[in-house]
């Protein structure tokens, strides 16, 4: 029973580790080849929906498909002043990416634009976002993990932790396989039809 529990636990850890690595590989491929974005949220303008320090994942979107209520990622309009919720107000650079919710869609075609607002802000953003500034639409986020990943020490320990888990899984599975093979060598099963027939003696006349 103990052996079964250990093997089951090792199998679960293996599945979780492989799934996590596969997910990371898939996300890396999407970012590299399909234009997906992975960012760390630096301000509280989208709280409580997206807490400060979260890592968000967004995918490319046709501006014509954007609707009111969507959370989009866009380049900051030139000279924009951004309200960051409880973090105050600051002047954005043109290279800055902002993640806010669409509260209005205006125009169409080349005149298409959007009004946006951070969930944690009291007022709408003081600009219109042109379709050419839109980069992606929000898909999901992992709360608070961005602050941890930003630390070199955390990244180092995270890598070592994953590597250690992988080593433990490999060693555990290797020992289980070795024990199984040794058990089979020590207690070979008789092949079908190869059963030993008990010896018999015939009575002799005295």
Assign residue 77 the CATH number of its domain: 2.10.109.10
Residue 201 falls inside a structural domain: no
Residue 3's pLDDT is what?
A: 63
Task: Based on the fold, state whether residues 50 and 133 are members of the same structural domain.
Answer: yes
Span 90-117, average pLDDT = 86
In this predicted structure, the answer to whether residue 96 has a pLDDT above a threshold of 90 is no
Give yes or no for a contact between 119 and 101, defined as CB atoms under 8 angstroms apart.
yes
Determine which of 51-60, 147-156, 190-199 has the lowest per-residue pLDDT on average.
190-199
Residue 82 falls inside a structural domain: yes
Task: Based on the fold, state whether residues 41 and 30 are members of the same structural domain.
Answer: no
Examine the fold and report which residue of 142, 164, 194 is the final residue of a domain before the chain moves on: 142
Task: Based on the fold, state whether residues 2 and 87 are members of the same structural domain.
Answer: no
What is the chain's mean pLDDT, rounded? 74
Residue 85 falls inside a structural domain: yes
In this predicted structure, the answer to whether residue 164 has a pLDDT above a threshold of 60 is no
Total domains present in the chain: 2
Task: Based on the fold, state whether residues 6 and 84 are members of the same structural domain.
Answer: no
Could you give the CA distance from residue 200 to residue 206 in angstroms, rounded to a whole number? 18
Task: Based on the fold, state whether residues 90 and 164 are members of the same structural domain.
Answer: no
Task: Based on the fold, state whether residues 78 and 137 are members of the same structural domain.
Answer: yes
Residue 183 falls inside a structural domain: no
Task: Based on the fold, state whether residues 127 and 160 are members of the same structural domain.
Answer: no
- The domain of 26 spans 1-34+150-173
Taking the C-alpha atoms of 164, 170, 172 and 175 in order, what is their torsion angle to the nearest 10 degrees?
-140
Task: Based on the fold, state whether residues 123 and 25 are members of the same structural domain.
Answer: no
pLDDT tens digit string along 34-53? 688 888 888 888 999 999 88
Span 140-155, average pLDDT = 70
Output the six-digit token pair for 75.
């380049």
Residue 182's pLDDT is what?
A: 81
Residue 6's pLDDT is what?
A: 63
For residues 134 and 203, the model is more confident at: 134
Task: Based on the fold, state whether residues 92 and 162 are members of the same structural domain.
Answer: no
Contacts of 3-9 with CB under 8 Å at 24 or more apart are: 3/176, 6/172, 6/176, 7/176
Task: Based on the fold, state whether residues 5 and 95 are members of the same structural domain.
Answer: no
In this predicted structure, the answer to whether residue 19 has a pLDDT above a threshold of 80 is no
Strand order of the sheet with strand 97-106? 37-40, 55-59, 134-142, 71-75, 97-106, 113-117, 128-130
Task: Based on the fold, state whether residues 156 and 125 are members of the same structural domain.
Answer: no
Residue 205's pLDDT is what?
A: 47
User: What confidence category does residue 160 fall into, taking pLDDT thresholds of 50, 70 and 90?
Assistant: low
For residues 16 and 115, the model is more confident at: 115
Span 11-18, average pLDDT = 67
For residues 23 and 126, the model is more confident at: 126
């Amino acid at each position: 029973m103990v052996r079964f529990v250990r093997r089951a636990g090792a199998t679960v850890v293996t599945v979780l580790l492989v799934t996590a690595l596969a997910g990371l590989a898939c996300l890396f491929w999407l970012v590299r080849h399909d234009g997906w974005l992975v960012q760390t949220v630096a301000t509280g303008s989208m709280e409580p929906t997206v807490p400060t320090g979260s890592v968000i994942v967004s995918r490319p979107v046709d501006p014509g498909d954007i609707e009111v209520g969507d959370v989009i990622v866009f380049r900051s309009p030139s000279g924009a002043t951004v309200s960051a919720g409880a973090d105050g107000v600051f002047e954005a650079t043109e290279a800055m990416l902002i993640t806010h919710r669409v509260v209005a869609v205006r125009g169409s075609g080349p005149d298409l634009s959007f009004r946006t607002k951070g969930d944690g802000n009291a007022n709408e953003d003081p600009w219109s976002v042109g379709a050419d500034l839109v980069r992606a639409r929000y898909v999901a986020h992992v709360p608070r993990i961005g602050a941890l990943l930003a630390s070199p020490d955390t990244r180092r320990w995270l890598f070592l932790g994953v590597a250690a888990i992988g080593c433990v899984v490999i060693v555990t599975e290797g020992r289980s396989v070795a024990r199984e093979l040794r058990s089979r060598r020590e207690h070979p099963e008789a092949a079908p039809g190869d059963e030993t027939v008990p010896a018999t003696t015939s009575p002799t006349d005295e």
